[in-house]
Amino acid sequence: MTTVMSEQNQVENPHTHVDALKDELSEARHRLNDFVAYGIGGLPVRKESMLFHEVSCMVRRPPFTRTSRRKNVLKSVDFPEGCEYDEAVVDRPLRVIPEALRQQTHSFGFNALEMTPSQMLAHWFIMFQEYDLLSKYKIHGETLRDYFLTVHNAYRTNTYHNFNHAMDVAQFAFALFANSEQLRTKLSSLDILCCLVLGLAHDMDHPGVNNAFLVKTRDPVAMLYNDQSVLENAHAASLFLMFHNKPTCNVLANVEGDEYSQARKTILRGILATDMARHFALVKEISAHQSLTEVEEVPDDVRMSLIDCIAKSGDICHLVRPWPVAKAWEDLVMEEFFEQGDYEKQLGMTPDGLFDREKCKVANSQCWFYDNMGKPLFKALEHHVPTTAATLLDVMQANVSKWKEMC
């Protein structure tokens, strides 16, 4: 059905077909320019083969199944007014930080939605400086800035899965540490570093459609990862290939030996944990562990589960942002779903109800998500960090009440 519809469209709409080919060519050119930094789906092969693979995928893919969007490429990024940066200062290169900016970085009321790259860069540096991560892991200020820039350029201009969402997730992880002494004292600096790195990178190169779509349309990336956590595997592989291919942005370059192995394992696990298909298993696992409040030394399995939980709660942290911010993110995520639904209809497919703008009851689906996905996850977090999570659950309750008024 899909193929028949696509072929009909191609025959009946020659202009659309030509436009789509032009679009495809321009996208290919764009991606060739930056493939040096990260490969499609993190293909684990030599650069030359990666290039060949990427080009062959793009040429063979029918034009109407193109899922990619433009990337918002920046050549450089500077700090906002009021900040003073001096790369010669090894541990705190962002020497002057306006207090209002610092407070925002620590706040659960953080609103990444309309922030400029410049503002986000300042928050990014504040997070690393707060816990001395630059000096502890010998990260040069310019490496940290290049990481920010290169990851930024790997994100596409999706309605929801864009770089602002990435910053939202990284800041939420930071705010959890900043507002919970339990986490700060019982997890390590390396854990904080991993949470920040994975938070910013966790949706790198997201195409704006979900795993089910990639599997259904037999996308080459779904084939590469055998239909298993396709996007999450691709994001994680892209991150480490980026480090491999562009050493100037490798913030883990001076993390060595066992610490490096642990960091890599933690980051990979954290990114893979953001797959919604693993949601209930993760909630069950976190709740079953002995509470962080009851242990002196945190066993490794509890530590890893907690980091998964931080990554996972960061990924849906819009549920616990203040209402106007939460509502704005939720409108965007629904719009991205509907765009996928529109695209599926264009391909002759029938979208699920949640993705169909003509059928979906947005308020009802939001209430379902809050009650069945958000609440159990933050309750599981409450088991380990009771005071912080209780505050967040209150905000969540207020937000879901707003949606319920709209049902």
Return residues touching Zn ion (CB under 5 A).
Answer: 203, 315
For 359, the token pair is 């059928």
Using CA atoms, how far apart are residues 371 and 293, in angstroms rounded to an integer?
Answer: 26
User: Whose Cβ is closer to Zn ion: residue 308's or residue 315's?
Assistant: 315
In whole angstroms, the minimum distance from the beta carbon of 315 to Zn ion comes to 4
CA distances from 204 to 72, 300, 365, 406 (A): 12, 27, 27, 34
Using CA atoms, how far apart are residues 406 and 175, in angstroms rounded to an integer?
Answer: 30
Contact 235, 206 (CB under 8 A): yes
For 155, the token pair is 């994100």
User: Whose Cβ is closer to Zn ion: residue 203's or residue 275's?
Assistant: 203
Residue 5 CB neighbour total at 10 angstroms: 15
Using CA atoms, how far apart are residues 40 and 194, in angstroms rounded to an integer?
Answer: 23
In whole angstroms, the minimum distance from the beta carbon of 208 to Zn ion comes to 12
Is position 164 annotated in a ligand binding site?
yes
In whole angstroms, the minimum distance from the beta carbon of 314 to Zn ion comes to 8
Amino acid in position 282? L
In whole angstroms, the minimum distance from the beta carbon of 230 to Zn ion comes to 14
User: Whose Cβ is closer to Zn ion: residue 231's or residue 392's?
Assistant: 231
User: Whose Cβ is closer to Zn ion: residue 146's or residue 203's?
Assistant: 203
Residue 237 CB neighbour total at 10 angstroms: 23
Residue 1 CB neighbour total at 10 angstroms: 9
User: Which 3 state secondary structure label does DSSP give 346?
Assistant: helix
Amino acid in position 240? F
In whole angstroms, the minimum distance from the beta carbon of 95 to Zn ion comes to 32
User: Whose Cβ is closer to Zn ion: residue 315's or residue 330's?
Assistant: 315
Is position 202 annotated in a ligand binding site?
yes
Contact 219, 211 (CB under 8 A): no
Contact 200, 151 (CB under 8 A): yes
The alpha-carbon radius of gyration of the chain (Å, integer) is 21
User: Whose Cβ is closer to Zn ion: residue 128's or residue 329's?
Assistant: 329
Q: What totals of helices (H) and strands (E) does the chain contain, helices first?
A: 20, 2
Tell me the three-class secondary structure of 62-101, residue by residue: CHHHCCCCCECCCCCCCCCCCCEECCCCCCCCEEECCHHH
Contact 292, 298 (CB under 8 A): yes
Is position 371 annotated in a ligand binding site?
no
- Give backbone dihedrals phi and psi of 118, rounded to 5 degrees, phi first: -60, -50
Is position 203 annotated in a ligand binding site?
yes
Is position 163 annotated in a ligand binding site?
yes
Active site residues: 161
Is position 372 annotated in a ligand binding site?
no
User: Whose Cβ is closer to Zn ion: residue 23's or residue 335's?
Assistant: 335
In whole angstroms, the minimum distance from the beta carbon of 169 to Zn ion comes to 6
In whole angstroms, the minimum distance from the beta carbon of 62 to Zn ion comes to 28
User: Which residues fall in the annotated binding site for AMP?
Assistant: 161-165, 203, 315, 366
